[in-house]
Amino acid sequence: MPFVVSTAGFQAHRAIQMPISKDHTKSLQRLVDALREADKPTGDPLISKAAIEAAQKAVACIDLHAINSDLDAIKKQIDQSIDQLVFDRRTAMSEAAREAGWPYTRIGEQDRVGEFYVQYAKTKVKILIGTEELTTTTELEGRKLFELLRQELRKAEASMLTRSAFFNSLRMALAMARADGKSNNGKVKIRELFPYVAGARQLANEDFRKKPLAKKFADYSMALLALELHRFGESPEGWHYGEYRLVNQPPNMATQSEAMLLPGSSGSQVLWLGIE
C-alpha cells in the first residue's frame, strides 16, 4: 500500500523548513564573514583594525528583536502543525492497523494494537507489551507509528525461543532462583525470576555456549518475557508442556503493582510463577 502524506503532515514539513527573512540571513552571513576576516592572523595592524570595524558594522546591522520575532512566528506555526499531527495520529494508526488485520481497541489515553499497548503523552509515545515498556518514540504520523509497531514485533519474534527451549529456560531459571532462596511453595515472583530467565536462555544461544563472552550475551527484556509467556499460554497446548504445567499465582490488591500483565484481550496477570 502506498504511503499517503496527510495535509497536516505536509503543513508540518513546510513549517519546519520555512526560512527566516532573507534580509536577516544576509545580515547574519555578513557578520560571519566579517568575523572570519577578523580572526585571520595578520602582521598589519591597520588591516586587523579594518576587519574589526567591519565586524562591528555587521553587528550594528543585525536586528535581533526582529529575528526573534520571525522565529517566534515560525515556531508557532510548527506547534500548530504538530498539534494537528498529534490529533490525527491515533486515527491514522487505527486505519493502518485495521487495514493490516490487526486487532485495535481505543482505551482512554492508550490503544491496544495487536499485542501492544500504545500510550500517548503529547508528542511522546510509549510502546508496551502488557505492562512492560518496550520502547518510546516521538513519531508524529500514525501510519509510520504503525510501521514501527510492525518492526518491533518482527524484531521481538526473531529473538524468541522455540516453545521447548523457552520452557527449558524457565525450568532452569526456577531451579536457580529456588537455590538462591527466592521461592515460596515452589513459585518465584516474576520480577525476581526475570534475571534468572535472562541468564538461562543464553544456553539456547549456540554462539554463547561455544564462547561465553559478554559481547555474545543476547539482550532480553521484561517486555519480551511477557510476549513469550503470552504466546506460550495461547498455544493449543496452553500452559502444559508434556507432563508439566506452568502455574501462575495472580496478585491481590496489595501486590498488583508487582505483577506482569500479559498482552492480549484476556489481560492475564502473573505474580508468582512455577512449574508443576
Of 1-15, 105-119, 162-176, 214-228, least confident by mean pLDDT is 1-15
> Above 90 in pLDDT, residue 214?
no
Under the banding of pLDDT at 50, 70 and 90, the label for residue 109 is confident
Cβ-contact 140, 85 below 8 angstroms: yes
Cα four-point dihedral sign 176, 180, 185, 191: negative
Contact 136, 125 (CB under 8 A): yes
Quickly state the pLDDT bin for 18 (edges 50, 70, 90): low
Q: What's residue 14's pLDDT?
A: 46
For the cut 60, the answer to whether the pLDDT of residue 202 exceeds it is yes
Closest CA to 173 of 140, 201, 146, 208: 201
Do residues 190 and 260 lie in contact, with contact meaning Cβ atoms separated by under 8 Å? yes
pLDDT tens track for 124-147: 999 999 999 999 999 999 999 999
Q: What is the pTM of this model?
A: 0.76
Q: According to the model, what pLDDT value does residue 8 have?
A: 43
The answer to whether residue 16 scores a pLDDT higher than 60 is no
